[in-house]
Structure 1
Amino acid sequence: MKAIREARGISLQQLAKDIGRDPGFLSRVENGQQGAGAGTLHLYASRLDVPIAAITHEERTRDQDRPGSPHRDDLDPSAVGTDRSC
């Protein structure tokens, strides 16, 4: 969330003012210290002009099923680096 906001050049204070939320609250949400309700998330996404999935990290099922998706449980081992030294 924070990365998208910053990429748009919007300060936390400006976003808070625009959507009628406390900047401290939004900061905690962006840093994963507090959850936000659907209404706040929709306002946030709308103000940043992004789909709600962009800030909630939700993917449609078919996106998760596509080959190479980082969210698949059964990644093709050939798609992952072969360096096992870590």
Structure 2
Amino acid sequence: MTPNGAAIRAIREARELGLNRLAHLIGKSPGYLSRVETGQRGAADGTLHRIAEELHVPLAAILKGEPP
């Protein structure tokens, strides 16, 4: 699975959830999450599931090729 970093950021910001807070909720560093959002790195399937769960969206909403 390939994360859609722009979708993750857009949904996170729409939910008024800060980068640091989401990173804490998923157990990752803010730098890691920032790199996922900017497309500089991928993310493990488990991490993507955690991100979707914390953003309260279906997993497909944060994957490349899927609408946010």
Q: TM-score range by the shorter chain?
A: 0.7 to 0.9
Task: Please list the CA deviations of residues 35-84 of structure 1 after superposition, one character each: whole Å capped at 9, or x if unmatched.
Answer: 0010100000000000000000345xxxxxxxxxxxxxxxxxxxxxxxxx
> What one-letter code is carried by the residue in structure 2 that aligns with 1:43?
R
Flag structure 2 segments of 5+ consecutive residues without an equivalent.
1-7
Stretches of 4+ aligned residues off by more than 6 angstroms: none
Please provide the CA RMSD for this pair: 1.0
- Structure 2 equivalent of residue 79 of structure 1: none
Aligned residues: 59
Query: Is the helix fraction higher in 1 or 2?
Result: 2
**Greater Rg over alpha carbons, structure:** 1
Flag structure 1 segments of 5+ consecutive residues without an equivalent.
60-86
TM (norm. structure 1) is 0.65
Which structure has more relative contact order (CA 8 Å, sep 6+)? It is 2
